[in-house]
Chains A and B, each alone.
Chain A
Amino acid sequence: MAKPSLRSALDREVGEINDDLLRLNKLVDRAIVRSVDSLKRRDRALAQQVIDEDVEINELRFKIEENCLALIATQQPAAGDLRSIIAAMHMVVEMERMGDHATGIAKTVIKMGDEPLLKPLIDIPRMAELAREMLRSSLIAYTERDAIKARAVAELDDEMDALYRAIFDELVQIMSQTPDSASRATYLLWCAHNLERIGDRVTNIAERVVFITTGDMKELND
């Protein structure tokens, strides 16, 4: 049974912030999917759409941040409530930057023009799927205030790093053997790097979830 609360105004507004965070999550997930789809299909119109839609992500991030600030100023939250609100403020920054990484992939797709891909895409779509899974799981850990699930998300980042390292090594090898392929290899490297950074940012979200639930601030992946 829910505990009786004298803080219904605070609870309601925290609920609205949580709803907005989930909306932001959806927008970021959509940006990741579309940016990698645009790469797979070499669809510059779709890539441009990802860039244009990033505005929505930025606006929602600022809206959430402003609501958090107003909540702190008007409701003086403490302890767990305060940690949740401060964590939400950090999380929206991470999510907004993930949107920027997706935009980075989309910009690369536009830059690539009609040049054929250097190699078939295998690991980059896998990285994208892993990034989405991590993001989804981190939001579940957040809504359920589950530190164990949050730590599990951070462990997935090791897989992400391993995929990135494999792609990196492969592309560097191709570049050293066929220097003419350098620019096309670099495009793919940028895309992979953006996805790897998304994994790092999801890990930061997982760290915030651990902070909300336990009060401990520490790196989950060194």
Chain B
Amino acid sequence: MHSKIEVRDLDFYYGSLQALRAISMLIWERQITALIGPSGCGKSTFLRCLNRMNDDIPGARMTGEVLIEGEDIYRREVDVVELRRRVGMVFQKPNPFPQSVFDNVAFGPRVLGLVDGRGELGELVERSLARAALWDEVKDDLGRDALGLSLGEQQRLCIARVLAVEPEIILMDEPCSALDPIATLRIEELMRQLRERYTIVIVTHNMHQAARVSDRTGLFWLGELVEFEETGKIFTRPGQRLTEDYITGRMG
């Protein structure tokens, strides 16, 4: 197996507050890695370190290394826009632009100049919507307002928007927390399909979602990575007492 992301000894601070401590982990290519832990444990902060989304936070400071395909993404010469194309992000709340379905998906490729001509763009939009399992629902009216879609469809549209710029890694920050159970299962099913092509890292509060969908699970606690193991092992025979207490709900 090939490691897509390698994190080495990462510390992160918001001003004087240390949010992450000495995190080291290998994230495998074409796997779903779930990060769990209570609110404020650092898992979302960690996720945002993987595509430099924390760069613009005033007072934030990071030490350590994040390597993607062996290259440190925090080197000065790294093009952050290009990095975020390679490492896309899906957020908690679906955030489509107030435009048509087509324009939402076409936005990234247009801005980045990824395609030549309307025909090629159309193909890319169709392919992205199909991979996001939304094509069948929207193909008859790509001009419809994206905000008129259901929340579950909007979230899949946001995933299609990420896919349209042909990323390698998809970061998901609580992607189902605004969705009903059926829409949640559709996203989980979609994640399993996307895993064939992409490396996925998901932050979730829903432990059962991590259990259902991921290959490996990491537990964050007070800014530290307590345990990072195969999901089946974490949920049946975790190695750490803290993990056991957290996933069985026996935390004070």
Q: Which residues of A contact B (CB under 8 A)?
A: 3-7, 10, 76-83, 215
Kindly identify which residue among A5, A7, A78, A80 contacts B207, using a CB–CB cutoff of 8 Å.
A78
| B69 on interface, CB distance cutoff 8 Å | no
With A76-B208, A78-B207, A78-B211: A3-B235 Cβ-Cβ less than 8 Å: no
Measured in the bound complex, the distance between the Cα atoms of B208 and A82 in whole Å is 13
With A76-B208, A78-B207: A3-B236 Cβ-Cβ less than 8 Å: no
Kindly identify which residue among B238, B248, B251, B252 contacts A77, using a CB–CB cutoff of 8 Å.
B248
List of B residues within 8 angstroms of A77 by Cβ? 248
List of A residues within 8 angstroms of B245 by Cβ? 3
Kindly identify which residue among B208, B237, B249, B251 contacts A215, using a CB–CB cutoff of 8 Å.
B237
| B118 on interface, CB distance cutoff 8 Å | no
Kindly identify which residue among A4, A6, A79 contacts B236, using a CB–CB cutoff of 8 Å.
A79
With A79-B237, A79-B238, A215-B236: A4-B211 Cβ-Cβ less than 8 Å: no
What 10 A-B pairs are tightest by C-beta distance, nearest first? A215-B237, A7-B249, A6-B249, A4-B252, A78-B247, A78-B235, A79-B244, A81-B248, A5-B250, A3-B250
Nearest B-chain residue to A215, judged by Cβ: B237
Complex contact B252–A80 (CB within 8 A):
no
Measured in the bound complex, the distance between the Cα atoms of B244 and A6 in whole Å is 13
List of B residues within 8 angstroms of A10 by Cβ? 249
Known: A4-B250, A79-B238. 6 other contacts (CB 8 A): A6-B249, A7-B248, A79-B235, A79-B237, A80-B244, A83-B237
Nearest A-chain residue to B245, judged by Cβ: A3
Measured in the bound complex, the distance between the Cα atoms of B237 and A80 in whole Å is 7
Q: Which residues of B contact A (CB under 8 A)?
A: 207-208, 211, 235-238, 243-245, 247-252
List of A residues within 8 angstroms of B247 by Cβ? 78-79
With A215-B236, A215-B237: A80-B248 Cβ-Cβ less than 8 Å: yes
With A78-B207, A215-B236: A3-B252 Cβ-Cβ less than 8 Å: yes
Complex contact B248–A79 (CB within 8 A):
yes
Complex contact B235–A6 (CB within 8 A):
no
With A76-B208, A78-B211, A79-B244: A6-B238 Cβ-Cβ less than 8 Å: no
List of B residues within 8 angstroms of A81 by Cβ? 248
List of B residues within 8 angstroms of A6 by Cβ? 249-251
Measured in the bound complex, the distance between the Cα atoms of B236 and A80 in whole Å is 7
CB of A157, distance to nearest CB on chain B (Å): 25
CB of B37, distance to nearest CB on chain A (Å): 15
With A3-B245, A76-B208: A82-B252 Cβ-Cβ less than 8 Å: no
With A83-B237, A215-B236: A78-B250 Cβ-Cβ less than 8 Å: no
Complex contact B250–A82 (CB within 8 A):
no
List of A residues within 8 angstroms of B250 by Cβ? 3-7
Measured in the bound complex, the distance between the Cα atoms of B251 and A80 in whole Å is 14
Interface CB pairs A-B, < 8 A, 24: A3-B250, A3-B252, A4-B250, A4-B252, A5-B250, A6-B249, A7-B248, A7-B249, A77-B248, A78-B207, A78-B236, A78-B247, A79-B235, A79-B236, A79-B238, A79-B244, A79-B247, A79-B248, A80-B244, A80-B248, A81-B248, A82-B236, A83-B237, A215-B236
Nearest A-chain residue to B237, judged by Cβ: A215
Nearest A-chain residue to B252, judged by Cβ: A4
List of B residues within 8 angstroms of A4 by Cβ? 250, 252
Measured in the bound complex, the distance between the Cα atoms of B207 and A38 in whole Å is 54
Kindly identify which residue among B211, B236, B251 contacts A83, using a CB–CB cutoff of 8 Å.
B236
Measured in the bound complex, the distance between the Cα atoms of B79 and A128 in whole Å is 78
Measured in the bound complex, the distance between the Cα atoms of B235 and A78 in whole Å is 5
CB of B34, distance to nearest CB on chain A (Å): 14
Measured in the bound complex, the distance between the Cα atoms of B207 and A6 in whole Å is 15
Measured in the bound complex, the distance between the Cα atoms of B237 and A215 in whole Å is 6
Measured in the bound complex, the distance between the Cα atoms of B235 and A5 in whole Å is 18
Nearest A-chain residue to B251, judged by Cβ: A6
CB of A207, distance to nearest CB on chain B (Å): 15
CB of B127, distance to nearest CB on chain A (Å): 37
Nearest B-chain residue to A11, judged by Cβ: B250
List of B residues within 8 angstroms of A78 by Cβ? 207, 211, 235-236, 247-248
